[in-house]
Amino acid sequence: MRDLSKALGIILGIIGVIWILQGLDIEFAPQSFMTGDPLWVVLGALAVLAGGALLWREARRK
């Protein structure tokens, strides 16, 4: 279960960064309906925080 939580935390963090980049309309980010929409910056930040919280929780369990 610990490995699953770590993997989910990493995946959430990566997805969150992609959402933030798309929301900020960064040139190298893939173009989609999310491009330039500030909502995705907020949702991406929440995903990064959730992923970080999962990783932090697993680090504290040791």
> pLDDT, tens digit, for every residue of 2-61?
789 899 999 999 999 999 988 998 877 667 788 888 999 999 999 999 999 999 999 888
Angstrom CA distances, 51 to 14, 22, 28, 31, stand at 9, 18, 23, 24
Q: With H, G, I as helix, E, B as strand and everything else as coil, classify residue 48.
A: helix
Question: What is the pLDDT at residue 13?
Answer: 97
* pTM as predicted: 0.85
What tokens appear for 52 in the block? 């970080």
- Tell me, what's the pLDDT at 33? 82
User: What pLDDT score does 43 carry?
Assistant: 97
Tell me how far apart the alpha carbons of residues 9 and 12 are, in angstroms, rounded to a whole number.
5
Judge whether 22 and 30 are in contact, CB under 8 Å. Answer: yes
Q: What angle do CA 18, 4, 55 make, to 5 degrees?
A: 60
* Domain chopping of the chain, boundaries: 2-61
What was the pLDDT predicted at 45?
Answer: 97
What is the per-residue pLDDT for 7? 94
